[in-house]
Amino acid sequence: MALLPTPALQAVFGIGALGAGVGAWLAARAWRTARLISSTPPTAISALTAGLHEVQGAVHGEGSLTAPMSQRPCLYWRFLIEQRRQNKWETLVDRKASVPCWLDDGGGRLELDVPSADVILSKAEHATGGIFGVPSAELTRVLEALGDNPPNLQGPYVRYREELITDGDRLHAVGTVVQVEETWRLRSEGDVHVLSDRDEGEVVRYEERMALRWAGAAVVGLGLAVWAALELLG
């Protein structure tokens, strides 16, 4: 006798199959990204040609922003709030903003498309929600400024962080370079589009860890789908 009614088993099968497919695709994408980054040597901006390149330099931008938590001037910020539910962290808020930016290596300029890039930063402002079952005063202030009011936001199992790119930060960029009106631009046109203040080895290891996590999710999804299928077949 099946543990669940047929409609529930069909739903479990669909969720499991979807999770297996998405997890496998994301794992393969992260693994491919790691391999492409490790095999792409840095190129000076003055020597760029159209295609996949890794470029290193100082980032600059048109104007600046004010980070929501630290109130620091920056070119890019990302603010995340996560809450632990059923033994896993779920994202409640993921907001980001940026101004037009470019990299300068002293010999040329490469315009960046920060909003569409995978931004991997080592430095971040970290904080944790209050221990009395309510958001901290700092978190409440930030949420009011952003106009966000996520439901069921309670401590202590709440964490939030802020990531920044500031003017003059040293970054390396990996992605597809195209030329538009005599200006080199990094576009999100290929499988790899990464901006990071970490060295190449750290970024590769980060992508490899993501590949393993997504592969694990794919295995779990496949297990659910197989179990549900066996139950349906009786």
CB-based burial label for 94 (10 Å; 0-12, 13-18, 19+):
exposed
56's tokens:
């290193």
pLDDT value at residue 134: 58
Q: What is the DSSP letter of 219?
A: H
Enumerate the H helices of 40-165 as residue ranges: 137-146
Q: Rounded to whole angstroms, how far apart are CA atoms 217 and 23?
A: 6
SS3 106: coil
Only one residue has tokens 């994202």, namely 91
Neighbours of 98 (CB within 10 A): 19
Name residues whose C-beta falls within 8 Å of residue 131's C-beta, 6 or more positions apart in sequence: 155, 156
32's tokens:
């491919």
Q: Rounded to whole angstroms, how far apart are CA atoms 118 and 171?
A: 13
102's tokens:
């470019």
Contact assessment for residue 44 and residue 108, using Cβ atoms and an 8 Å cutoff = yes
Task: Of 80-84, 93-97, 206-210, give the lowest mean pLDDT range.
Answer: 206-210
pLDDT value at residue 191: 67
Contact assessment for residue 9 and residue 231, using Cβ atoms and an 8 Å cutoff = yes
List pLDDT tens digits, range 131-182. 445 566 777 777 777 777 766 666 567 778 889 999 999 998 888 888 888 8
For the chain, how long is the longest CA-to-CA vector? Answer: 72
Domain boundary assignment for the chain: 6-233
Higher-confidence residue: 24 or 150? 24
Among residues 87, 86, 88, 67, the alpha carbon closest in space to that of 76 is found at 67
203's tokens:
């970024």
Task: Of 104-113, 160-169, 202-211, give the lowest mean pLDDT range.
Answer: 202-211
pLDDT value at residue 190: 64
Contact assessment for residue 164 and residue 77, using Cβ atoms and an 8 Å cutoff = yes
List pLDDT tens digits, range 40-51. 778 898 888 888
Q: Strand 194-196 and strand 118-120: pairing?
A: parallel
12's tokens:
């479990």
Only one residue has tokens 């890019």, namely 76
